[in-house]
Structures are given as structure tokens and as C-alpha cells.
A and B are shown apart, each in its own frame.
Chain A
Amino acid sequence: MTMAPEETETEVPEGHVKLIVDGEEVIAPKGELLIRTAERLGTVIPRFCDHPLLDPAGACRQCLVEVEMGGRPMPKPQASCTMTVADGMVVKTQRTSPVADKAQQGVMELLLINHPLDCPVCDKGGECPLQNQAMAHGRASSRFVDTKRTFPKPLPISSQVLLDRERCVLCQRCTRFSAQIAGDPFIELLERGVHQQVGTAETAAVFSGTPAPEPSDMASKTSSGAPFQSYFSGNTIQICPVGALTSAAYRFRSRPFDLVSSPSVCEHCSSGCAERTDFRRGKVMRRLAGDDPDVNEEWICDKGRFAFRYAAASDRIRKPLVRDAKTGELVETSWTEALRVAADALSKARDARGAAVLTGGRLTVEDAYAYSKFARIALRTNDIDFRARAHSAEELDFLAGVVGTTPDHVSFAAIERAPTVLCVAIEPEDEAPIVFLRLRKAALKHSTKVVHVGQWTTSSVRKTNGELLACEPGGEAAALDGIAQHAKDLDAGLAEAGAVILLGERAAEVVGLFSAVQRLAERTGAKVAWIPRRAGERGALEAGAAPTLLPGGAAVSDADARAALESAWRLDAGVLPSSPGRDTTGILWAAATGDLDALVVGGIDPDDLPDPALARKALAAAGFVLSMEMRPSAVTEHADVVLPIATVDEKSGRFLNWEGRPRPFTVTLEGTNALPDCRVLDTLAVEMDADLFTQTPQASFADFERAVSAGRSVVRETNGSGTAEHSRPHAGESNGNGKLKLATWRQLIDEGSLQAGEPHLAGTARTAVVRLSAATARDHGIEPGEHATVSTERGELTLPAEIADLPDGVVWVPARSPVSIRTALGVGHGGAVSLSGGTA
């Protein structure tokens, strides 16, 4: 016997309300927008301005629905993207309400009145929300018979974003993104009524009839007249629901149906953003932000979006090169020949005075692990370092404690929730843009207090509503030690649960900073996160591509850990080298003075190293240099054998982002025949009679996991005992006769080798200037706007001067301007320099 189901009153949980959508009863959390409630029920209400990560605006009016409150219908259809749910609400969407449907069709007709019929030439055609929704919810014909409003187009609002005002439906997604998320309000709504348009002060002048200024004048200026240098402008292109904002780099390159999309991970910084790589006929056409709420939400920086052309550069090395003994030129040769030459030379060097490995900071975990294992088994040395930048033994000790941390320690979400975040020796917007976006979100939405230990009020400080704890470059450690006495509120803030200290790569240039951070963290209980600038550093650290650490983070001096690793690697006992290796500068010094016979060099630019002159000398002096490169570089100039390797698009693997979160990705471009580093090293090792078992990234990762779990089985000895012996002339830091202190870091967009071949991106780089305080400028007779010359006994650098709130006696210069500051001046952050008024 069947019974009619009993009508039971659905219970409404705390903080929820009950309403009826399209005749269906639904429980929704308080504060939810109607458009999302309907979406959960499977009804997609058409919309343009609504974006889940932006504040509601109700600008496009496309999402109109019929709403009834307390039995009384609202007089007009309501915008469901701005109205939140309420108890007892009755909502009828276009599915059940002819009124809502008619209202939506009417709005669509209105939006299309001035929208040009240029879909065939529009980049958005084929993936256009307006196109799709006009098909789904629009009328088949328009009643509009007059002439459409036209504007001159396209207008470049920066060198990489083009504006077409005819196509704009004024949804304000771009302006809201710029103002709320990025904090660079470079575009605004201008004019009123029918003339309303998105634009900048410069584009406003370009109204029909007015003579157009030169596009170069318009590009890269904000409405305030300041140069437009947003690092996040590419996101406005992606979220534009019509083709009003298009990308100069992707302009007319392909249609959505030509493209094969592949999820990928950004190779530029240590945030490890999820991306979508679209390619056509074996060539990457564009990259878009992927959706990963835990990491980058739906945003990426312009570097991640636009800097991918280096992989398709015409000078890519596709075949192994060996230096001809007679002519001294690199000659293309076969893999067998090149590997034989390299293996012979490396074996000889290993048996003589030794060979060392410099991996560079851009490797996947798999590749870094292969380098690490190659150094230990094939070269039988611990002389391996991933740090192609300023570094210190103190840093290495600190990093031993970083190994193995996961997002449970500090994550993006933890930053967002933190009551207080202290940024030490890091400029988030330049070094980790997605961390910067989270900091800004935390500050704006959760009132997180963000304090920057730095030199001047940078845009990161301003846009995170931050506080600057100004100190001299090099004085960061003292500043941290002084917090307890001089900044009691900050001290209390850091003691709150969830407080976070972010530490950048520049910390390695400040003596005593790591221990000062650790002291502060121990005293206050704040968690410390190390945020390197490069994508591969965290993974390389984990893979043991460091002179004192084995894969998994055990110290090389730890006999138990070595024994465990030997058994995991199926080696004879006692084979692994036990003495700590040299670090990057130590390796270069040894190579330059003849203590090392050979160098294996991954992707390294000598200009990034603490002492470029020493690096060049070492590369020239080393008996044999093996370079694993994709394009000719300063290293290949000196290399005896160059082995071509795959770019991220051509291989699979995983990065470990700064949180310690694995960011795996698969091959985007199949069939290029390019080999990942791990495969090349595996074959090379076989030639040297050592088995790495890293033939593929998959095999390499499996072997890496075995090695790490073997390391975990033994109790980790306290690290740091073996690093003190690195007594060597500290070549980079010449404390010359300069009176001023230098502050410096790399800006996001500069002359980095992975940004090659992308002029549109380069156009939005921040201009290189010398920043100094008004008093310092006055003392040295420098007027703002004039040029200033910063010099050491090594050389000098002349750039336009700009006044900022730096401490007196401090000058700031970008680390690439475009020459490397290390190459030009021979000093880094905290170095001593002289200043004089210069001529352009």
C-alpha cells in the first residue's frame, strides 16, 4: 500500500532563510544574492555586470526578475544581482514569469542598440557572453532604425589593453576590478547619459570629431595623468563580457574554436597560479587565469598572462650544441655525441678536482630532484645550489626549517584571515603579485593590519592600507628587534592567533634578519612564511638542490639520513658525500680559482647572481661548462656543451608554491620532442655509469617521494652545524667609500629572460628611477625630475630622480633598470653607494 508523503515543514537552519524561486521552495544563507540562489537551482539568469568576486553593482540591468515580498509584488522587476534573499520572498525568473522574460528581452534590445554588428572582426566573437545571451534571451530583430553611436577605435589604454567603447555595455566590471581588486583605478566611467563611456582622461578627449592625439600619448596614462602601470590590467580583458577590452598581444590571432585549452600553472613567481593555456597549431596563443579559490581565485598578474613568448622565440635551442675545438664555435650535433662529450668531461672532472651544479630557481620539483640526485650520485658532490641570487649561509639554516611545510602552516587563506601581517624584506606587488592581491583583500574586507618593514611607502604599502615600518636597508633585523619596545601595538597584533610574518628573498641580503625573524616569531607566536620570488625555489629546496640538505630536508651531515637515502636509492653504504657542499658563491669562487673543474648550469642569468663579474670569470675559467638552456644566454657563451631542454608548455611536472602546495601540470604542447631536464640528466648519468631513475617527470616524482619518505623515517638532526665553514671572501658586498645605503629589489616587469619577445607587456613596466628623500636630494643638489647618478668604485648608474619618503641617506634603485644593479654597481640591497647629480 502506498501512502501520500507527509508534508513536513522544512527546518530552516540558523542564519538561513526560506524563499520560493520559480515555485520551488529553497533554503538560502542570509545575504546570498538572488542570482546565486537561482543558479544553485539550475536557473541561469542572464547577467553582465555580476561577478562573484566583485561587489554587486546592478549596472547592466540584464538580470531582472519578478519579486514578491510578504504577498505584495514589487512594482517593477528587480535586479537579482543586487537583491539578497529574504524570508518569505517569492521570486519568479524568466523561466516562469513572462514579465521577467519581457524585461530581460527589453534590456537586451537596449544594450544592443548601440552595440556594433562587428562580431566577425571582434576578438570576443565565439566566447562572448553578450553574443550567447543575445541568442538565448534576446529578440530576433531590432526595432532600432537610426544610426548607431560610434567612437574612434581601438584606443590603447595601455600598451597591452585596447579599448573599444562602441562595444561596451557599461557593466563596470573593469572599473570595479581596477578599483576594488587591483587598487589601480586606471579606467573610470566618464560623461553622462547617452555619452557615458569607460575611459581615461586621454580617451575622453578622443570623442567623435576631435582630432585624435597620438596613440603613444594616450597609452600608459591613468585618468590622473600618472603613467598607467597596473600589474593586473589583463584581468579586465578576461572579465569583460563583451569585446570592449581586448589584448594587443592576442589581437586577431585566433578564434575560440581554433584553440585547444589546457590547464597549466604559471612559471613566473612562487604563487603557482592556476592558468589556462590556449594554443593553436602547436603555438601558444594566450594564457588566461584559471579558477583556483585556494590560490589565485580568478586573477593572475600580467606577467603570468602575457610573458610566454620566450618559448616560441626564433632563437630557441632545439638541438644539442658542442663547442668545436678548432673554431671555438658551438656546433649542432646529435644527442649521442653531445651526451658522450659531456659525460666524458664530467667524469674526468669528478675524478679530478670535482664538478658542481647550479640549477637556477625555475625548475619543477621533478627536474630539481634530478639535478640534486645527479650531483650526489653522478658527480659525487654536495656542491649544488638552487639560489641564483643573493644568498647567505644563514638563509640556508633557516630554509632547513622551511622544508616540508604545507599550506597547513601558512596559506593564502591564512593571509586573508590573519589579524596582522608583517611583510619583511618583501615587496609583494613586485615579487608575488597574487600574495599582494590577497593582502589587499584581507586589508579591505577583513580589516587585516598589514605592516611593511621597508624603506618607503611603495604602492604595496598604499594599496594594502599598510603601515610602513621604515628602516635603513640592512637595518631590518634591528627594526624587528625593536618592535617589542617601539611598536607595542604591532607586537600585540603579532601575538594574536593567526598572525603571519612574510619573508622575501631579499632577507638573504640582510645580516641577522633570519634569526631576528625567528626570535620575533618565537616571542609572539606569529607564523613565518618564506616567499621566494621564483617559481622553482621552494621545489628545489624540497628536492635537496642545496649544499647542506638532502631531498626531504635532512642535513647531508646526518649519517642516518644518508644511510636511509642510500638504501632508498639502492646504493652501496657510504657512497653519498658527507661533507656539506659549497653554495652558489662558493662554487663560482672555486671555479674561478681553479678548485673546480666543471660546472653544470641550469637556467641562470649571471646578472642575477651576487657578483656577476665573478660568475662570468668562473664560467670562463671552468675547464668544462655544461649548460642546460632553451635560448642562448650568457652561460651558453661560455658553455662547452649546451643541451636543449623543454619549457613548461612542453613538459609535465609540478611546482611547489611558497605555501608548499603542489601545483602539478601536464604537457600542453604534445609532440615537440623537447626533453625535460630530468630526462636529459638521467641519460647523461647513465653515460657516467649512474642510474637516476628520472627518465620521465612521473618516474622522477615517484623516486623523489621514495627518497623523502626514506628521509622521514629517520629523526632529523638539527641543521645548521655544517654551514659555518663557508668562510670565503664575500665578493658581492664591497663596502666601498660610499656614504649612502642602497635599497633595491626587482620590479615585476623588467628585462628578465622569461619576458623576452613581449613588447606589449614591456610597455607597462614601471619606469626605472632613483628614489631618494627630499633632504638627500637637496644635500646632493638634485632637483626632482632631474637625473641622479648612483655610483660605486665598480661603476655608475644614471636614472631620473624621484622624491619619496625614504630615510635620509638611502637611495632606492630597481635591481634591473634594465642593466642589473649587481653588474653596474657590484652591490645589492644594503650596499654602500655614492650619489651625485647626473646628466641624462
Chain B
Amino acid sequence: MGMFDPLKGFGVTFSTMFKKVVTEQYPEDYYPTAPRYHGRHQLNRHPDGLEKCVGCELCAWACPADAIFVEGGDNTEEARYSPGERYGLDYQINYLRCIGCGLCIEACPTRSLTMVNFYELADDDRQKLIYTKEDLMAPLLPGMEQPPHPMRLGESEQDYYVHGPELARGRGVPSGETVETSVEEAIQ
């Protein structure tokens, strides 16, 4: 070992002080992820606020980690949560198990289940990491109404599904805002 070696070592440290810093100051600073990052799930709504989830359990079926629990329920004329016969009565995702693979998203036949970029999924209580339907539902945007309520848009089912987003504009959903609600904007 040469006598200048310790100085060489300090030289590395010293020179680094003048280089650009790559460390992200999390949690003081919050950097957005890549747009398609697989973060937390979200259960989307139709433009009038009804849930898109039909409780079909295909997400639970697709899940390789068995992280999703769904139980279907029966819509009645008095209490309608989603268009059609069936809705998701109980919906839970266990983030202790979820591996973020996104197969559930691909399985969803109604595009009810999507993933947002939110990634702060850590806690000191295992129970809190089982997200229930209340935690996962997309927030109500202007013009939306908390279910249960009847289908508000259009004359027929065809109208509701095909022209729903345009019809919703007339009910106060601001232009430029996507009606396939996403919290991405809200969080950023």
C-alpha cells in the first residue's frame, strides 16, 4: 500500500462533491413515476357515478398471488350500484400479497379496475394493507353522484354505454377532464 493511497481515496469523495447529485430526496421531494407504472389499484366509475365493477371476480381469478377478494351482489331497482344485474358487493385487495403484475387489469371486462401511479404502499400494520372497496373507489368528480342511484345518462342502455361520456359533459363534468376518472392528476 502506497503512502498516497488514503489521499487518493479522499480524492474520490472530494471530486464527487462537485458532480450532479442523483439522490432523490424522498419523502421530502415526490418524483412522478413513469406514466405506466403499476401502482395502487383503482375502481373506476361511470360518468354518472355508478360503479363500473360488476363483481365478476375475473381479477381475482387472474391474480397469481391470490391478493384479490370479490363478492358479487344483486342490483335492485331500489338500490343500484352499477348498470346491469350485478355489482361488486365486497372488494378487497391485499397489498401484502399483490406483486403489481397487472394481470387483474387485463382481465377486467369493464375496465373498472385500473392501476394508478401511487406507490406509497407501506405501513406498520398488516391489517391496513388490505384495501377495501372504500379505499379503492375512484373519487366522485363534479357531476357524479354517490351510488346507489338509477342510471342517469341517456334513454337506453345502448345510450348509456356508448354516449355516456358526452352526455356527462352536460351534467357538469369539466371539459378536458377524463371521465374515466383517475387520481393520477389528483395526486400530482
Contact of B58 among A120, A153, A253, A254 (CB under 8 A): A120
Contact of A253 among B56, B61, B72 (CB under 8 A): B72
Q: Interface code A97-121, partner B: CB below 8 Å = 1, 0 otherwise?
A: 0000000000000000000001011
- A125 within 8 A of partner (CB): yes
Q: In the docked arrangement, what's the CA distance between A118 and B110, Å?
A: 11
Contact of B57 among A118, A154, A251, A255 (CB under 8 A): A255
A252 touches B73 (CB 8 A): yes
- A779 within 8 A of partner (CB): no
- B85 within 8 A of partner (CB): yes
- B window 83-119: CB within 8 A of A: 84-86, 89, 109-110
B84 touches A121 (CB 8 A): yes
Q: In the docked arrangement, what's the CA distance between A767 and B74, Å?
A: 28
A254 cross-chain contacts in B, Cβ below 8 A = 57, 71-72
- B153 within 8 A of partner (CB): no
A252 touches B61 (CB 8 A): no
Q: How far is the CB of A66 from chain B (nearest CB, A)?
A: 38
- B47 within 8 A of partner (CB): no
Known contacts A121-B84, A252-B72, A253-B72: does B54 contact A258 (CB below 8 Å)?
Answer: no
Q: Interface code A124-160, partner B: CB below 8 Å = 1, 0 otherwise?
A: 0110000000000000000000000000011000000
B57 touches A121 (CB 8 A): no
Known contacts A154-B85, A252-B86: does B56 contact A121 (CB below 8 Å)?
Answer: yes
A252 touches B109 (CB 8 A): no
With an 8 Å Cβ cutoff, the count of chain B residues facing the other chain is: 17
Task: Closest B residue to A117 by CB, please name it.
Answer: B109
Q: In the docked arrangement, what's the CA distance between A647 and B57, Å?
A: 30
Q: In the docked arrangement, what's the CA distance between A738 and B54, Å?
A: 61
B71 cross-chain contacts in A, Cβ below 8 A = 252-254
Task: Closest A residue to B75 by CB, please name it.
Answer: A252
B56 cross-chain contacts in A, Cβ below 8 A = 120-121, 125
A121 touches B74 (CB 8 A): no
- B49 within 8 A of partner (CB): no
Q: Interface code B102-142, partner A: CB below 8 Å = 1, 0 otherwise?
A: 00000001100000000000000000000000000000000
Q: In the docked arrangement, what's the CA distance between A255 and B89, Å?
A: 14
A121 touches B86 (CB 8 A): yes
Q: In the docked arrangement, what's the CA distance between A153 and B86, Å?
A: 12
B61 touches A120 (CB 8 A): no
Q: How far is the CB of A576 from chain B (nearest CB, A)?
A: 54
A154 cross-chain contacts in B, Cβ below 8 A = 85
Q: In the docked arrangement, what's the CA distance between A154 and B57, Å?
A: 20
Given contacts A252-B73, A253-B71, A254-B72, 11 further A-B contacts (CB under 8 A): A120-B54, A120-B110, A121-B54, A121-B56, A121-B86, A125-B56, A153-B85, A154-B85, A251-B74, A252-B74, A255-B61
- Interface residues, chain A, with chain B CB atoms under 8 Å away: 118, 120-121, 125-126, 153-154, 251-255, 257-258
Q: Considering the complex of A and B, which 8 residue pairs feature the smallest CB-CB distances, nearest first?
A: A252-B72, A120-B56, A121-B86, A120-B109, A255-B57, A252-B86, A121-B54, A252-B74
Q: List 19 A-B contacts (CB under 8 A).
A: A120-B54, A120-B58, A120-B109, A121-B72, A121-B86, A125-B56, A251-B74, A252-B71, A252-B74, A252-B85, A252-B86, A252-B89, A253-B72, A254-B57, A254-B72, A255-B57, A255-B60, A257-B61, A258-B57
